[in-house]
Structure 1
Amino acid sequence: MEAELVALAASGASTLITLMVSDAWAQTKTRLAAVLGRTGDERETLRELEASRAVLVSALAEADDATVAAVEGEWRARLSQLLLADSSCVEDLHFLAPVPGYAVHNNITGRVQAGLLIQAGRIERSTFHTLPEQTA
């Protein structure tokens, strides 16, 4: 069971790093701070998450892979400690686990057009302007 928790912490840390630089971070950070802050101050945990995010964003901008790995390692250790101390947190951290077998496959069929194609999970508040079709 311990090996499974360590593996979960590793995949969770990897997902956390991905979330830190995504649009989902705003929703994720509060949830994560609530789980990680169980044993301490939730607000302090939120500050630590935001500080890690700032370091990560800077490291990615500078292509500093060592710093990115260090941030991920720090959160892997923190998640491992949490899960080993209280395995009931597994359920609360399920949003960090990758969905097994989840993949997206798209097929585009029909006549060939020179136009705009957008593939996204969700788009909000966007306006797209296109030129009118020209007839020959």
Structure 2
Amino acid sequence: MEAELMALAASGASTLITLMVSDAWAQTKTRLAAVLGRTGDEKETLRELEASRAVLVSALAEADDATVAAVEDEWRARLSQLLLSDSGCVEGLQLLAAAPGDTVHNNITGRVQANLLIQTGRVERSTFHTLPDQTV
């Protein structure tokens, strides 16, 4: 069982690091703080997460792989300790390891206009072309 917990801690730390530098961070950080702060102060955990994120973003900008690995190792150790001391947090960490946001579900309602739907996560530069009117 301990090997499974250590694997979950490693997966959770990797997912946490990925979330910290993704667009999903703003949406997930408070939920993560609730899971990770179960044995202490949730607000303090959120501050620690934000501090780690700041270090991580800076390290990535400087291509400092050692610091990135150190941040991940720190959270892996913390998650391992949390799992060993509080078995009730296993489900929360399994949800963390599942990388929230991997699945998108859309419901489209209302009147259809032009039979066109564009779904995207980010649009930076877009050019739309239309064919010239072909009236004869």
Question: If the length of structure 2 is used for normalisation, what is the TM-score?
Answer: 0.75
Matched, 1:7 2:7: yes
1:50 maps to 50
Matched, 1:81 2:72: no
- Identity, % of aligned positions: 78
**Aligned structure 1 segments of 4 or more residues deviating by more than 6 angstroms:** 124-127
Deviation at 1:123, TM superposition (A): 3.0
Q: Deviations over 1:49-99 (max 9, x none)?
A: 000000000000000000000000000000000001112211112222248
Query: 2:8 touches 2:94 (CA, 8 Å); kept in 1?
Result: no
Deviation at 1:124, TM superposition (A): 7.1
1:132 maps to 130
Aligned pairs, number: 117
Is 72-81 or 26-35 further displaced after alignment?
Answer: 26-35
Deviation at 1:134, TM superposition (A): 5.8
2:94 maps to 94
Could you list the runs of 5+ residues in structure 2 that have no partner in the other structure?
103-117
Cα distance between partner residues in 2 of 1:132 and 1:93 = 49
Question: If the length of structure 1 is used for normalisation, what is the TM-score?
Answer: 0.75
Cα distance between partner residues in 2 of 1:126 and 1:61 = 21
Aligned pairs for 1:106-121 within 5 A: none
SS in 2 for 1:130: coil
Cα distance between partner residues in 1 of 2:70 and 2:63 = 13
Task: Compute the RMSD of aligned alpha carbons.
Answer: 2.7
Q: Which amino acid aligns with 2:60?
A: L
